[in-house]
Amino acid sequence: MFDGLTALGKSFGGFLSFWPIVYTLGATLVGVLVGCMPGLSATLCIALLTTLTVKMAPNDAILILICAYVGTIYGGSRTAILLNIPGTAANAAACLDGYALARKGQAGRAMGIATTGSVVGSLFGVVCLALLTPTLGEVALSFGAFEFFWLALFGVLMSGSIAGSDPLKGWMMGLLGLFATLIGQDGIHAYDRFTFDWHDLSGGVTLIPALVGAFGFCEVLIVLSEKMQKAMVNAVDSVLPRIADVFKYWRTILRSGVIGVYIGILPGVGEDMAAWSSYAAARRASKEKDEFGKGSVEGLMAAETGDNASIPGGIIPALALAIPGSAPSAVLMAAMMIHGVQPGPMLMVNHPQFVYDVVAMTTLATLGMLFFGLFLVRPLLAVILIPRSYVMPVIFVLCTVGSFAIAARLFDVWLMCAIGVIMFVLRKQNYPVPPFVLGLVLGDILDKSLRRGLQISNGDLTPFFARPVCALLFAITLFTILMYIPAVNRRVRAGWAAFMELFRRRA
């Protein structure tokens, strides 16, 4: 434990200099600005910034991406409170009580509550990140190719939960991402696959152009196909956080922090589910249930604490197991790989200091979020009035330049455009994009683990099911698939409810 504290202190010491502080404030501000623009997302922000930071030192680049991630999720609460339009999907739950408080003339108080909940939730998640990541990494050190195959497969399988009510579409998009990783030379024997004698495809689907196309160029096409709407900003009163609210609702904050971290760790669930789950749990436990949805301070506090606590929670499995907890953390993990840091169990062996660096980065991002939440609220409100039609040309230029700058190949620009058009068509048919990213990021791990496992076992599939951890992961994967079948889901839930009722009677 002492070694861990020493490493953490070393990480903080390394970032307490001029340029890291500038990067922290600048990236957090960019994230808040993106979050204030309805329709843009943390995933888009991270994907674009990845292209701009690819030539930077790894720690500086990842610091910028984490700060932008935290800032975007926080910035989305501005429009949720003032316009009843969530800046990001994670802030949808904040609309219920935040906008109601704003209509009562308490917009400043609502934003102060959102700031307090976001900061406390993020700090709680940082503590869990520091404690759980090394432990989980040590456990995963015993994993081999067989176990990693099931972990990657389970991560792709969780893409069904990202798709909401239609898991089949999520799985199809996850499989599309897996297929995209198979294009080009394989990672073991460098044999061309699915290139159709097209030399440019031998290098495979490059990660950055694919991500930028899926989220950046696709978003440009979405905006061009929609009618723009104007919105008015409500008057803002004092925005200082109410310290008394922290003490009054400490149970809500703690419960929402735990829920946020837990849901963040689950692959493919994301910050929006953390916010809604925290909100629902707070409503069930509250003595003022009727106030929820009508301007409840407790409800707003729960929603903003839960979504921000899930950010460090989603980074935990990304670092320890190389399985991202959400779409933004998937892009963040891809950026780490681009900068030469391979997440997974070997991270604590090859880069033990990096975990504590990430803890320090997330803490600095939280402090940057607090700074802008306190002092720059009124100026930032002007961003809400900027039409997205003015922003999208800038994003398109960044998409094009970023895709070309990685390897100076015009083919990557055309690849970005092609993937953007494909994702645009699929989104119009209600196919979610994040599962595609999940499959794209995990596909290489799944492919290599499967082939290495088959080489080790001389083509025998038995070790994939006979090894203890593999058997457990297979059972969890199978159970997850069965739970998507309505009849099985109802029976399991009914059985669990009957068991809990029997347990209460005996207790």
For residues 334-357, b (16+ Cβ closer than 10 Å) or e, as one string?
bbbebbebebbbebbeebeebbbb
pLDDT of 88 over the 50 cut:
yes
How is residue 165 annotated by DSSP?
A: T
Find out whether 356 and 16 touch, Cβ atoms under 8 Å. no
Neighbours of 389 (CB within 10 A): 11
Q: Greater confidence, 237 or 381?
A: 381
Joined tokens for residue 261: 């971290």
Per-residue pLDDT at 405 = 64
Which sign does the torsion angle of CA 116, 118, 119, 125 carry?
positive
Q: Render pLDDT for 44-80 as a digit per residue (tens, 0 to 9).
A: 788 888 878 888 888 889 999 999 999 888 888 877 7
- What is the rounded distance in angstroms from the CA atom of residue 20 to the CA atom of residue 15? 5
Per-residue pLDDT at 234 = 45
For residues 43-71, b (16+ Cβ closer than 10 Å) or e, as one string?
bbbbbbbbbebeeeebbbbbbbbbbbbbb
Per-residue pLDDT at 66 = 92
- What is the rounded distance in angstroms from the CA atom of residue 310 to the CA atom of residue 257? 8
Per-residue pLDDT at 229 = 37
- What is the rounded distance in angstroms from the CA atom of residue 61 to the CA atom of residue 54? 7
- What is the rounded distance in angstroms from the CA atom of residue 298 to the CA atom of residue 259? 15
Q: Render pLDDT for 414-449 as a digit per residue (tens, 0 to 9).
A: 888 888 899 888 888 888 776 787 777 777 778 888
Q: Of 33-37, 250-254, 289-293, 306-310, which gets the smallest average pLDDT?
A: 289-293
| Cβ-Cβ contacts under 8 Å for 156 (sequence gap 6 or more) | 171, 174, 175, 177, 178, 435, 438, 439, 442, 443, 446
Q: Render pLDDT for 458-480 as a digit per residue (tens, 0 to 9).
A: 888 888 888 888 888 888 888 87
**Measuring CA to CA, which residue among 268, 262, 264 is closest to residue 157?**
268
Q: Render pLDDT for 205-214 as a digit per residue (tens, 0 to 9).
A: 877 788 778 7
CA neighbours closer than 13 Å in the CB half-sphere of residue 158: 24
β partners of residue 185: 192
In the chain, the percentage of residues whose pLDDT exceeds 90 is 3
